[in-house]
Amino acid sequence: MLSSRVLPRLLCIAFLAAPSAARAQDALERAVDEVLAEPLRDRRFSGAVLVRRDGKTLLRKAYGLADRELGKPNTPDTPFMIMSVSKQFTAALILRLAAQGRLHLCDRVGDRLPGWPEEWNAVTIHDLLSHSAGTDIDTTFFWLVSRFPQYWPDATEAPPPYVPRALVAPPGTKFQYSNVGYTLLTMIATAATGRPFDELMRVEVFGPLGMTHTVPERGHRVPGRARGYARTETGFELSEQETIDIVGAGDLVSTVDDLARYSEALYDDRFLPAALRKAMLTAYVSGRQGGIGYGWFLRTGKDGKPLQLHSGSGAGFRAWNVRIPESRLSIVILSNVLNDEAAFVLPLVSRIQEFTEAARSAP
């Protein structure tokens, strides 16, 4: 039992710590607002930002409008299209199936997909995951839709014919970003289990992670999702796209909270065993954004710490899922304005790092 002298002292410390933490969060919010002021003013950003450290929320804030026609504001709970950040969850599913022995990362794609071109026989699941299959991207897509026409997005026009083509690089040696590679992974998951891809994602990924607001968008807009916009000279115009040709590569709707849940699940073995988490976060080839693992780009931040991220971009939307594992820091930025020039994002991440590190080291 605590003595009558110790208890008041502990209560005093707790009382003083709470305002200190609140001041640190207020300072972080002001810093984020300061970085975002110009992108908001220039119509380059509208969306939501989440910052979590050690499982605690430091900032959860929304900016701008989710639906400009209705005047509906974005909120921290607003779902957004996350475009290529969707690849993170296809990769997670493949690793979950590998943990269960349903498939192996070294399996050849041709052993899982009937009719796979003989010229590409050396390509493995690992190569698809790491964007290093070495196949010509357009040729791969034409092969896909020649055998599975449901992935062709234009019902009024026939897809181009598939013409066999040799590998453009040995598998596993050259980074070549590929949406179709991740669609192929969805088909491999289904072939390995006999279950539909969307069902597998619900049962193996979203359910275990508690991602209750993450769903694929198929044909019709997910209720409550933010509308996507493109910036014009004077304002905004609605800009959205179908996702049938990017299944598993860019078709998910999610929230800042759900994406942070995934980042935080990679700190222990509850979702994936250590060996597969290490495989996911290992760089195999390099591209403009850094080394490439499975669903994560891996680089070193300005402070010298490892920085892990994936971004997404498509009609009306941008998305960034960032983690700094040494600081156990998760940063999620979702926007319903397509902006090819997003130079504010990395400075924003750096500013958040500075403030959270300063708050952690403060007495």
| Residue 114: inside a domain | yes
Q: Which domain holds residue 140?
A: 90-193
* Res 363: pLDDT: 52
Name the domain boundary from 193, 226, 249. 193
Of all residues in the chain, what percent carry a pLDDT higher than 90?
Answer: 81
Residues 160 and 242 in one domain: no
| Residue 23: inside a domain | no
Residues 240 and 129 in one domain: no
Whether 120 contacts 135, CB under 8 Å? yes
- How far apart CA 339 and CA 223 sit, in angstroms, is 24
Residues 189 and 257 in one domain: no
The CATH number assigned to the domain holding 314 equals: 3.40.710.10
Q: pTM score, two decimals?
A: 0.92
Q: Give the pairing type, strands 297-300 and 80-81.
A: unpaired
- How far apart CA 278 and CA 321 sit, in angstroms, is 18
* Res 275: pLDDT: 98
For residue 137, pLDDT beyond 90: yes
| Residue 29: inside a domain | no
* Res 219: pLDDT: 82
For residue 174, pLDDT beyond 90: yes
| Residue 202: inside a domain | no
**Segment 226-273, tens digit of pLDDT:** 999 999 988 899 999 999 999 999 999 999 999 999 999 999 999 999
Q: How much is the CA Rg of the chain, to the nearest whole Å?
A: 22
| Residue 174: inside a domain | yes
Residues 68 and 164 in one domain: no
- How far apart CA 44 and CA 350 sit, in angstroms, is 19
**Segment 51-63, tens digit of pLDDT:** 999 999 999 999 9
Burial degree of 138 (CB within 10 A; 0-12, 13-18, 19+): exposed
Give me the number of domains the chain comprises. 2
Facing residues of 311 across strands?
320
Residues 157 and 264 in one domain: no
Name the domain boundary from 145, 161, 193. 193
| Residue 17: inside a domain | no
Q: Give the pairing type, strands 229-231 and 337-338.
A: parallel
* Res 343: pLDDT: 85
Residues 220 and 357 in one domain: yes
| Residue 207: inside a domain | no
Name the domain boundary from 147, 162, 193. 193
Residues 101 and 77 in one domain: no
Of all residues in the chain, what percent carry a pLDDT higher than 70?
Answer: 93
Residues 220 and 350 in one domain: yes
- How far apart CA 295 and CA 281 sit, in angstroms, is 8
| Residue 312: inside a domain | yes
Residues 222 and 73 in one domain: yes
Residues 152 and 119 in one domain: yes
